Amino acid sequence: MKQVESNNWAAAVLSKGGLPRAERGEGIYIYDSAGKRYIDASGGPAVYCLGHNHPEVNEAINRQLGKIAHAYRYSFTSDAQDELSALIEGFCGNGLSGIVYVSGGSEAVESALKIALQYHSARGEQTRRRFISRRRSWHGNTLGALSVSDFSSRRQPFEGALIDASFVSSANAYRPPAGIDSEDLADYLATELEEEILRRGANRIAGFIFEPIVGAAGGVVPAPAGYARKIRDVCTRHGVLMIADEVMCGSARCGTWRALEHDGVVPDIMAVAKGLGAGYVPLGAAIYHRSVLDVLVQVDGGPLTGHTFTAHTAACAAGAAVQTIVKRDGLVERVRTEGELFKGLLCDALGDLEAVGEIRGRGFFVGVEFVADRSSKVPFDHDVQLSARINNHALSRGLLCYSVSGNVDGTNGDAVILAPPYIATRAELTEIVRIFADCTIAALRDIGRA
């Protein structure tokens, strides 16, 4: 039987009669049709940053629907679009003023790749067609985004039709390349990227795309200190556009609105989604620097990418409401400070377990990686299905988390992501940790390791 990577708790329950049926949500809780309550400790796949059924967001959507649901982007702009754009530009700053709105993360990445290609074409460098990405990365399900993703089970059915791309090492200080010390990792990775650019020919490289903090493909893996600045220098030196995929880790999830803000680095293009609209209406965006925008406007009149539902009016109204609340209620700072508490609680509850290799992340984006042997970091065998076991226990206890398997080599490796809504109280964060620790111990007991 083919081994596949599991990326959410749903895979763990399909064999037990199917998924529960969602009935309603309230705050950080979801209730199914049988009345069972679930704590949404992962915000779905790190989406529901304001929880569920937020009255202000619902009212903003209803108010917009009472006026007009959608006005086609080539015929009209809207107050909702302008309001959301102003909020995004205010959060981003640093010249990131070009925006293409889409319906989700894969489209946002696809648009970012197309903007990069159009930029080089507009500058007369149409040889720059190739992208470089990293191992153990995930950028989306469209063919372009999938082509720059290194997620074996998700790629395998489409091999042969994907765009050719280059891959360099993952930026994982817990699992650095053989022979590389963690303090030398940033230099090693920057050199590796530069060598790949030169090997292929700088005049053939369009962009380097990466997640500042890897989500689904790695189980929340922050890059080592200094890494982002070093690769920024490499990209600038060779005219390669730096593309930050912040679909999962951005929109305040890590305690800064831009994840790369933590590193003091500005990309040329970035993709956001998930927390941008908080799941109330599908929404994503490709955001790009004015230096890119100026070229596109001068030569082509603007970006040559977008869809029928680009800047969907009701979606923009939802996003504007979400981001207004994030700004007004100081949720970026709250995620930063409470995130330290949250990770500390997890370390206190799980840190002494021999099967816990690393607890990592920033803000309300935390991953726990499990290992069969702490000293060697050898993962559990895929057949053990540890992350799925943890999720099964969590589901039975009414806790939703996001499991990752295959995070080490595409087959083996277990991690679980916790990404609670930004509105979670300290009492709720404490309850999440308590239940998750109990479920982890129960799963380890199942396999004779606790």
In the chain, where are the structural domains located? Answer: 10-54+330-446, 57-328
Q: Give the pLDDT score at 293.
A: 98
Q: Give the pLDDT score at 450.
A: 80
Q: Give the pLDDT score at 386.
A: 98
Q: Give the pLDDT score at 17.
A: 67
> pTM of the full predicted structure?
0.95
Q: Give the pLDDT score at 430.
A: 98
Q: Give the pLDDT score at 16.
A: 57
Place of tokens 């037990």: 16
Q: Give the pLDDT score at 12.
A: 45
**DSSP secondary structure code for residue 176 in this structure:** P
Give the Cα separation of 98 and 65 in Å (integer): 26
CATH 3.90.1150.10 assigned to 10-54+330-446: yes
CA 310 to chain centre: 21
Q: Kindly list the averaged pLDDT for each block of 10 residues, start to end, along the chain of length 450.
A: 41 63 98 98 98 98 98 96 98 98 98 98 98 97 98 93 97 96 96 98 98 97 98 98 99 98 98 98 98 98 96 98 98 98 98 97 98 97 97 98 95 97 98 98 95
CATH class for domain 57-328?
alpha beta
Give the Cα separation of 120 and 117 in Å (integer): 5
- Give 294's contacts (C-beta < 8 A, 6+ positions apart): none
Q: Give the pLDDT score at 153.
A: 87
Q: List the 29-32 sheet strands across, edge first.
A: 22-26, 29-32, 37-40, 399-400
**Separation in Å, CA 420 to CA 39, 46, 105, 343, 385:** 9, 7, 19, 12, 24
